[in-house]
Structure 1
Amino acid sequence: MRVRITRIDKTLPLPIYKTAGAAGFDLITREDTVIRPGEITRIPCNMIVQTPPGYMLLLTMRSSTPSKKPGLIKPHSVGIVDSDYCGPEDELKFQVQNVGDQNITVERGEAIGQGIFVKIEQVQLLEVEQTAAVSRGGFGSTG
């Protein structure tokens, strides 16, 4: 599958998959960003992506981030980019939060997260008075 992208700053490299088996490609930071303790900010990732219909782009942390940037988290675990988010001003931004007690700096050109294309299907929601399933008790109900 080929996906069209537009780089904002062409002096930064194109995103790539680092290995043949990689599920995600690195998101490259377009500018130096300092995140103060407790702050939530969006880091520009230097590209506009034309996600194909029937897919979404999932934005998530890299597995190395906790050891390289202690205290930096993705406040809602993942980001979801819809296929119709691809206008000329729709640069990908990676939302992060500093839960530590010191400033965290993310430098221009640094890989801050990863993007993963996921096939999706919109369903038709059918309202009913009651579902056929039996209630199971909530979170952790299977042990």
Structure 2
Amino acid sequence: MDVMIQRLDEALPAPSYAHPGDAGLDLRAAEDGELKPFERALVPCGFAMAIPDGFAGLVIPRSGLAAKHGISIVNAPGLVDSGYRGEIKVALVNLDPHESFSFKKGERIAQMMIVATPSITLHNISALPNSDRGAQGFGSSGVS
């Protein structure tokens, strides 16, 4: 699939896959920053994109970010709709109660997966059909 991007910061590499077959494009910080314990920030990534109709971008955490720094850093999942044309940004949160977290311009801070988003029609009914799982929720399939 071809997706058009507009680089807003030519000093940054375009989003890319780290390895062949990867599902997520690496997103990089467009600025330096520091998050104190429990602080959050919306970090720009230096590009905008035109996701095709019928698709969306899911901004998800990079598994290596917290491990690299040894503290609890997460990015809140985000959704980029196909009609959005502004700069892509990542919500970073420092969950460490003691240590600050610094990041540099160009550092990989999140990933984006482009996923199909079929249009659905909801039908209001009085009862749902039965299934093996039924209404059992969190933990219903066991802990291990």
Query: Aligned pair in 2 of structure 1 residues 2, 36: CA closer, same or farther (>3 Å)?
Result: same
Say if 2:43 is the partner of 1:47.
no
Which residue in 2 is equivalent to 1:128?
125
Q: How does 1:28-107 map to 2 (within 5 A)?
A: 28-69=28-69, 70-75=71-76, 78-86=77-85, 90-100=86-96, 101-107=98-104
Q: Structure 1 runs of 4+ off > 3 angstroms?
A: 134-137
Q: Which amino acid aligns with 2:138?
A: F
Helix, strand or coil at the partner of 2:63: coil
TM-score, length of structure 2 as denominator length: 0.88
- Once the two structures are superposed, residues 70-127 of structure 1 have per-residue CA deviations (whole angstroms, 9 ceiling, x without a partner) of 121124xx211110111xxx11111111111221111001111111111110210111
Whole-angstrom distance in 2 between the partners of 1:104 and 1:139: 32
Q: Which amino acid aligns with 2:137?
A: G
Whole-angstrom distance in 1 between the partners of 2:67 and 2:50: 32
Q: Which amino acid aligns with 2:123?
A: L
Q: Which amino acid aligns with 1:115?
A: M
How many residues get paired?
138
Which residue in 2 is equivalent to 1:112?
109
> Unmatched 5+ residue regions in structure 1?
none
Q: Which amino acid aligns with 1:59?
A: V
TM-score, length of structure 1 as denominator length: 0.88
Moved more, 133-142 or 115-124: 133-142
> Unmatched 5+ residue regions in structure 2?
none
- Contact 2:73/2:95 (<8 A) preserved: yes
- Contact 2:75/2:110 (<8 A) preserved: no
Q: CA RMSD in A?
A: 1.5
- Once the two structures are superposed, residues 16-49 of structure 1 have per-residue CA deviations (whole angstroms, 9 ceiling, x without a partner) of 2122211111101100011111112111111111
Identity level (%): 33
Helix, strand or coil at the partner of 2:124: coil
Q: Which amino acid aligns with 1:112?
A: I
Offset at residue 132 of structure 1 (A): 2.4
